[in-house]
Amino acid sequence: MELSEIPIWQYILTIWLTSWALTIYRTWGRIKRLLAARFPRHAVVDTPILHLVVYFITINFVLIAAGIPIMFSDVQRDKWVKAYVESIGKRL
């Protein structure tokens, strides 16, 4: 199978999945630690598996706009994590 025989949707899917995985990898641990430190009694801290599943699904909606800067910039990643944690904390 040559490279020219691979359908374009497979390239798009590969780029999407790679950016999704890198975004999750670069943000999830920081989000979890910061949530536990800032809002230790929040319901999201008590149910980490549910929060992880919801985050896995909902990050897809902002992946193109937010995922690319998060993958390549530590500053953008830290801004995203802080904003995400603050938005969850406001809903106490």
All structural domains of the chain with their residue ranges? 43-92
What is the pLDDT, as a whole number, of residue 58?
92
> What is the three-class DSSP state of 26?
helix
- E strands present in 1-84: none
What is the model's pTM?
A: 0.84
Query: Which residue has tokens 């990898």?
Result: 25
Residue type, 6: I
What is the pLDDT, as a whole number, of residue 63?
87
Query: Tokens representing 79?
Result: 């801004």
Can you give the pLDDT of all 92 residues of the chain as single tens digits?
676 788 889 989 999 999 999 999 999 999 999 999 999 999 889 999 999 999 999 998 888 888 889 989 999 999 999 999 999 988 65
What is the pLDDT, as a whole number, of residue 2?
72
What is the pLDDT, as a whole number, of residue 1?
63
